[in-house]
Structure 1
Amino acid sequence: MTDVLKNDRFLRALRREATDTTPVWVMRQAGRYLPEYRATRARAGSFMALAQNPELACEVTLQPLERFELDAAILFSDILTIPDAMGLGLSFATGEGPQFAHPVRTKADIEKLGVPDMESELRYVMDAVRVIRKELRGRVPLIGFSGSPWTLACYMVEGQGSRDFARLKAMCWSEPALAHRLLDTLAQSVAAYLIAQAAAGAQALMIFDTWGGLLGPAPFREFSLRYMAQVVDALKAHPASRELPVILFSKGAGQHLSRMADTGCTALGVDWTIDLTDARQAVEGRVALQGNLDPAILLADPEVIRREVRRVLDSYGNHPGHVFNLGHGITPEVNPEHVKVLVDEVHAYGRQLRG
Structure 2
Amino acid sequence: MAGRYLPEYHEAKGNHDFFACCRSPEIASTLTLQPIDRYDGLIDAAIIFSDILVIPQAMGMTVEMLDGKGPHFPNPLKSPTDGQYEQLLSRHVDVEKELDYVYKAITMTRQKLKGRVPLFGFCGAPWTLLCYMVEGGGSKMFVQSKTWVYKYPEESMKMLEKIAMLCVQYLALQVKAGAQIVQVFDSWAAELSPSASKKFSLPYLRYISKHLPGKLREMGLESVPMVVFAKGAWYALDELCDSGYQVVGLDWLQDPAQAVGIAKGRVVLQGNMDPGVLYGGKGAITADVQEMVRGFGGGKQGWVANLGHGVQPGVKPDDLKFFFREIHRLAGGAHL
Q: TM-score range by the shorter chain?
A: over 0.9
CA distance in 1, matches of 2:5, 2:168: 31
64, 71, 92: which one aligns with 1:98: 71
7, 31, 37: which one aligns with 2:3: 31
CA distance in 2, matches of 1:267, 1:234: 17
CA distance in 2, matches of 1:320, 1:281: 15
Whether the 8 Å CA contact 1:57–1:128 is kept in 2: the answer is yes
Seq. identity, % = 40
Structure 1 unaligned blocks of 5 or more: 1-28
Q: Please report how far the alpha carbon of residue 242 of structure 1 lies from its aligned counterpart in structure 2 after TM superposition.
A: 5.4
Query: Which position in structure 2 is the counterpart of 1:333?
Result: 314
What SS does the corresponding residue of 1:324 show, helix, strand or coil? strand
CA distance in 2, matches of 1:123, 1:265: 26
| Superposition map of 1:87-126 within 5 A | 87-107=60-80, 108-113=83-88, 114=91, 116-126=93-103
Q: Which has the higher contact order (CA 8 A, sep 6+)?
A: 1
Query: Which position in structure 1 is the counterpart of 2:130?
Result: 153
Query: Which position in structure 2 is the counterpart of 1:346?
Result: 327
Q: Give a deviation string over 1:194-252, Cα, whole Å, max 9, x none.
A: 11101111000000000011110010111011101001111122225652110000011
CA distance in 2, matches of 1:230, 1:325: 26
Q: Please report how far the alpha carbon of residue 193 of structure 1 lies from its aligned counterpart in structure 2 after TM superposition.
A: 0.7
| Superposition map of 1:266-277 within 5 A | 266-277=246-257
Query: Which position in structure 2 is the counterpart of 1:18?
Result: none
Does residue 140 (structure 1) correspond to residue 107 (structure 2)? The answer is: no
Does residue 52 (structure 1) correspond to residue 32 (structure 2)? The answer is: no
* TM-score calculated relative to the size of structure 2: 0.94
Q: Please report how far the alpha carbon of residue 309 of structure 1 lies from its aligned counterpart in structure 2 after TM superposition.
A: 1.1
Query: Which position in structure 2 is the counterpart of 1:6?
Result: none
Query: Which position in structure 1 is the counterpart of 2:189?
Result: 212
CA distance in 1, matches of 2:325, 2:182: 25
CA distance in 1, matches of 2:222, 2:191: 30
Whether the 8 Å CA contact 1:235–1:242 is kept in 2: the answer is no
What SS does the corresponding residue of 2:121 show, helix, strand or coil? strand
Structure 2 unaligned blocks of 5 or more: none
Does residue 84 (structure 1) correspond to residue 57 (structure 2)? The answer is: yes
- Count residues with an aligned counterpart: 325
Whether the 8 Å CA contact 1:257–1:279 is kept in 2: the answer is yes
Query: Which position in structure 2 is the counterpart of 1:162?
Result: 139
CA 1:229 to 1:115, structure 2 compared with 1: closer, same or farther past 3 Å?
farther
Query: Which position in structure 2 is the counterpart of 1:19?
Result: none
CA 1:234 to 1:352, structure 2 compared with 1: closer, same or farther past 3 Å?
closer
What SS does the corresponding residue of 1:314 show, helix, strand or coil? helix
Q: Give a deviation string over 1:304-349, Cα, whole Å, max 9, x none.
A: 2122112101110143211111111111100000010011111121
Q: Which amino acid letter does the alignment assign opposite residue 256 of structure 2? A: L
CA distance in 2, matches of 1:288, 1:214: 25
CA distance in 2, matches of 1:225, 1:110: 22
Q: Which amino acid letter does the alignment assign opposite residue 207 of structure 1? A: V
CA distance in 2, matches of 1:236, 1:260: 18
Q: Please report how far the alpha carbon of residue 115 of structure 1 lies from its aligned counterpart in structure 2 after TM superposition.
A: 5.4
Does residue 41 (structure 1) correspond to residue 13 (structure 2)? The answer is: yes
CA distance in 1, matches of 2:323, 2:47: 18
Whether the 8 Å CA contact 1:149–1:228 is kept in 2: the answer is yes
Query: Which position in structure 2 is the counterpart of 1:10?
Result: none
CA distance in 2, matches of 1:172, 1:249: 21
CA distance in 1, matches of 2:35, 2:184: 21
What SS does the corresponding residue of 1:323 show, helix, strand or coil? strand
Q: Please report how far the alpha carbon of residue 70 of structure 1 lies from its aligned counterpart in structure 2 after TM superposition.
A: 1.0
Q: Please report how far the alpha carbon of residue 160 of structure 1 lies from its aligned counterpart in structure 2 after TM superposition.
A: 1.2
CA distance in 1, matches of 2:309, 2:326: 19
Query: Which position in structure 1 is the counterpart of 2:179?
Result: 202
CA 1:311 to 1:352, structure 2 compared with 1: closer, same or farther past 3 Å?
same
Q: Which amino acid letter does the alignment assign opposite residue 324 of structure 2? A: V
Q: Which amino acid letter does the alignment assign opposite residue 155 of structure 1? A: Y
310, 313, 316: which one aligns with 2:296: 316
What SS does the corresponding residue of 1:87 show, helix, strand or coil? coil
Q: Please report how far the alpha carbon of residue 62 of structure 1 lies from its aligned counterpart in structure 2 after TM superposition.
A: 0.3
CA distance in 2, matches of 1:273, 1:250: 12
Whether the 8 Å CA contact 1:292–1:327 is kept in 2: the answer is yes
Q: Which amino acid letter does the alignment assign opposite residue 328 of structure 1? A: H
